């Protein structure tokens, strides 16, 4: 496991890990709701770091970072930019998963000159009343004080033996990698929930996301239905959409090699 590092920002001390190297632009990873830097499946980020510098970080008030969870997702975007400032990184590629995907859209709109290419995984633009709704059990399961293996499989993988087997394999890899930063605290959990509830989304601004976008999801995502990913691809002018079969919210871990290869191709394009 890569060394845990810290850097001070105006939002508090930010915890992060770096993997890989190279002279190209680094890839910044924005994590999901209730996730920390140690909740990225190594099967996914390891093939990314073979080609470039990959940076995982905990936003303010989450995991190993100090400070408090910002009151809005828009402000979480400012944390990501302040973190890049603290590392003296003037330009980067950006990947956001789930809540991190919404953060990534806000950050890319706030400072489009800072991000060359953006990957949005298992996310949506907000502000979408039409289309499929999340599974009715999602809110109840997400509210559990601790999400055990059964909750994890329900929220992140499709209800098929193939997908659930992939989910159990993912859990074993995460357990083997170890958890060295604290899990998301009660106040952090509540802060994220409040920020999500307050967010009005960026749907009306998607046309301003002019940089190349790679948008992806699993076709059976129970939390953020794949239709929301389609909405991003429909309105952002340079977006490409990929949907993965027999997969849910954690399609990027179920199809780790395939999606990492897709990302590597996308980031290598001129």
Distances (CA, A) of 226 to 35, 173, 219: 21, 26, 6
Instruction: Report the percentage of the chain scoring pLDDT > 90.
Output: 93
Extents of the domains making up the chain: 4-268
- 6: enclosing H helix or E strand: strand 4-9
User: What does the pLDDT look like over 127-136, one tens digit per residue?
Assistant: 888 999 999 9
User: What does the pLDDT look like over 28-84, one tens digit per residue?
Assistant: 999 999 999 999 999 999 999 998 999 999 999 999 999 999 999 999 999 999 999
* Average pLDDT value over all residues in the chain: 96
Distances (CA, A) of 132 to 83, 111, 200, 238: 35, 31, 18, 25
Per-residue model confidence (pLDDT) at position 51: 87
User: What does the pLDDT look like over 213-234, one tens digit per residue?
Assistant: 999 999 999 999 999 999 999 9
List the CATH code of the domain at 4-268: 3.40.50.1820
């Amino acid at each position: 496991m890569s060394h845990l590092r810290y850097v001070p920002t105006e939002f508090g001390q930010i915890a992060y890990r770096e993997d890989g190297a190279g002279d190209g632009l680094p890839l910044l990873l924005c994590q999901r709701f209730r996730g920390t830097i140690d909740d990225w499946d190594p099967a996914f980020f390891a093939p990314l770091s073979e080609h470039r510098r990959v940076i995982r970080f905990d936003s303010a008030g989450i995991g190993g970072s100090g400070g408090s969870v910002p009151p809005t997702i828009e402000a979480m975007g400012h944390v990501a930019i302040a973190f890049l400032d603290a590392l003296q990184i003037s330009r980067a590629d950006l990947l956001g998963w789930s809540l991190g995907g919404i953060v990534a859209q806000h950050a890319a709109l706030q400072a489009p000159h800072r991000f060359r290419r953006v990957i949005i995984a298992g996310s949506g633009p907000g502000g979408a009343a039409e289309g499929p709704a999340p599974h009715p059990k999602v809110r109840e399961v997400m509210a559990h004080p601790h999400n055990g293996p059964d909750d994890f499989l329900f929220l992140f993988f499709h209800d098929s033996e193939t997908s659930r087997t992939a989910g159990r394999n993912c859990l074993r890899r995460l357990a083997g990698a170890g958890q060295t930063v604290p899990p998301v605290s009660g106040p952090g959990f509540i802060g994220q929930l409040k920020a999500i509830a307050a967010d009005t989304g960026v749907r009306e601004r998607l046309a301003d996301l002019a940089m190349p976008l790679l948008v992806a999801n699993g076709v059976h995502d129970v939390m953020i239905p794949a239709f929301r990913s389609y909405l991003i691809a429909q309105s952002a002018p340079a977006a490409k959409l990929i949907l993965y079969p027999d997969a849910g919210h954690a399609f990027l871990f179920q199809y780790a090699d395939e999606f990492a290869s897709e990302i590597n191709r996308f980031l290598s394009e001129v």
